[in-house]
Amino acid sequence: MTARPRLSGGPAALTGAGGGFFSGLTGVGGGAIMVPLMTSVLGMRQHAAHGTSLIVIIFSASASAVVYAAREGVAWGLVAALLPASVVGAYAGARMVQVVPASRLKQAFGVFVLCLGFRLLLWPSVEPLFAVSGTGEAPIGGGIGFAGGCLSGALGVGGGAIFVPALVLLLGAEQHEAQGASLCVIVAAAMVGAATHRKHGSVDMKVARWVVPAAVPAGVAGAWIASGLHAATLQRVFAVVAVGIGIQVVVTATRAVRREQRTAEPLPPGAAETAV
């Protein structure tokens, strides 16, 4: 029997506020904060937490993106380069996670984000890998968009943990510019991922109705603070958050993998008779 989520105003508001604030502050969507809280504090199933997180991200990322557009402006060229492939990736990721254990995907994601966080933290001076602009951004942006979209659809984390560092490290985007573009793309990717999750029954709208009202103002607050920080400071903040997210995801995913392995292990010969 599936456990019902433990709906309560305080924990639900905390979940939404935490995810929304980090979404606005770092441009990563906020799912890396919300999904663990939804499973541990609200008692949701893993797949339901992924899908429900995407519903919340649609609203919180939209609110944060409006603040970035008003205070910093949005690099619409980067958005156009990422958006089409991210939508395709979100659909593919949401379908893939229905048949691939989420714990394995989370492990890979956690290691990846951890490496990127340490890269930005230890070597803050970034030389872009590709010195391109204009139409040259399209193929690279498409690759970044597809990877982030897959992550968004599969794990309900928005995809910004790939969008932001990839734009900075690969294309040399400024930190504010990368985060503003990331949030705009995240909205579209989250819509596609959430619709696919809902089709598979892995969205809990009752939980979303509690979490969204706290996530939206928190997202605005996070974006407002981020827009007032120097780009180098904001990059360090993002790097620290990325390292923290990476550690948390790797630890929880590894525990889940070990539990799954113990459950799948066959009983030793004679164990069944002994138990009887």
With a cut of 70, list the residues of the chain below it in pLDDT: 1-8, 102, 124-136, 156-158, 265-276
Domain boundaries of the chain, sorted by first residue: 9-263
Structure tokens at 40: 């541990």
User: DSSP state, 270?
Assistant: T
pTM listed for this prediction: 0.78
Residue closest to 3 by CA, chosen among 51, 35, 48, 53: 48
pLDDT recorded at residue 272: 46
Q: Which residues contact 100 (CB under 8 A, 6 or more apart)?
A: 154
Report the distance separating Cα 201 and Cα 198, nearest Å. Answer: 5
pLDDT recorded at residue 126: 62
pLDDT recorded at residue 218: 96
Residue closest to 236 by CA, chosen among 121, 122, 128: 121
Tell me the DSSP string of 227-264.
HTS-HHHHHHHHHHHHHHHHHHHHHHHHHHHHHHHHHH
Dihedral sign, CA of 199, 201, 207, 209?
positive
211: burial class by Cβ within 10 Å (0-12, 13-18, 19+)? buried
User: DSSP state, 135?
Assistant: G
Report the distance separating Cα 107 and Cα 110, nearest Å. Answer: 5
Structure tokens at 89: 């990736």
Residues 163, 189: contact at Cβ < 8 Å?
A: no
126: burial class by Cβ within 10 Å (0-12, 13-18, 19+)? middle
Residue closest to 196 by CA, chosen among 89, 95, 83: 95
pLDDT recorded at residue 75: 87
pLDDT recorded at residue 274: 44
pLDDT recorded at residue 275: 38
